[in-house]
Amino acid sequence: MSRKTPGIEIRHERTCASPQGKRCNCSPGYRAEAYSAVDGRRVRQTFRTLAEAKAWRAEAQVALRKGTLSAAAAPTLRVAAAAWLAGAVSGSVRNRSGDVYKPSSIRGYEQALRLRVLPAFGAARLSDIRRADLQALVDRLLTAGHDPSTIRNTLLPVRAIFRRALTRGEVAINPTSGLELPAVRGRHDRIASPEEAATLLAALDGDRALWATAMYAGLRLGELMALDWKHVDLDRDLIHVRWSYDNKEAVRVAPKSRAGVRTVPLASVLKTHLGAHRLGGGRHAATRSRH
């Protein structure tokens, strides 16, 4: 171990001339270690810089004393991701607000992990993944032309996995903290005028009630598919949005966000379309579309 820095060893490359007593001609790494009296084992990690090694060792020593870090080997990201996804499906793993993950979110996270994260880091142990490694992934995705929102969504499950690992003592540091991510800019959607909406609806052979509710009440597709007559108050001209619908899982779910639970004014033109739909025997206020 280095005499100048206790607990940290300089790790030279194999081609380095320093073992022959010559001047170092490589870019060495730094392996830090901390001892767990509880486990009777040492925890070791290698870093690119001495500063990172020192910071990790200081945090690891404190975490080992408090019992918030275990000396047992951390799982690989592939194993941790599989366990996290299974927990998200069962509901035992929840988001930061304490709510269950929606099926659509789980599918998106699974796809992001499978396509963009696990090919790069699946075999690596959580404790061996550095912030610089994840930043390099972000930079590669950006260079490859991925949308900033795609890059941010790719990191969401990785952050959740490391938060869980941190609370379980599998890692001492969360490498997803402090990442530089590209800014996500909002897009300006063009809204059809009342005249354009009327023209579009007149051209439809069916599903007028569904599209009219989308246009005049601003409901999302999942909210439209879950809308029932008990949520439509024709007397008071109100629509109560309480549920959404996951078409792939064929289940009713909570809206995308808590703000999604809301009451929407019922425009007179929409009331006309819904009234005609109800007289025609429509079971749902906005029948579930095949599209």
Chain segment 264-289, per-residue pLDDT in tens: 999 999 988 888 888 877 666 665 54
CB 231 within 8 Å of CB 237: no
* pLDDT tens profile 218-242: 888 888 888 989 999 988 999 999 9
Domain spans in the chain, listed from the N-terminal domain onward: 8-66, 77-167, 194-279
Q: How would CATH label the architecture of 77-167? A: Orthogonal Bundle (1.10)
Q: pTM score > 0.85 for this model?
A: no
Give 203: exposed, middle or buried? Use CB within 10 Å, 0-12, 13-18, 19+: exposed
Average pLDDT over residues 72-91: 90
Rounded to whole angstroms, the Cα distance separating 128 from 220 reads: 42
Side-by-side strand order, sheet with 238-241: 232-233, 238-241, 262-265
Query: Which is higher by pLDDT, 21 or 123?
Result: 123
159: closest CA among 140, 139, 174, 148? 174
| Residue 170 DSSP SS3 | coil
Rounded to whole angstroms, the Cα distance separating 235 from 231 reads: 12
Give 270: exposed, middle or buried? Use CB within 10 Å, 0-12, 13-18, 19+: buried
Rounded to whole angstroms, the Cα distance separating 245 from 103 reads: 10
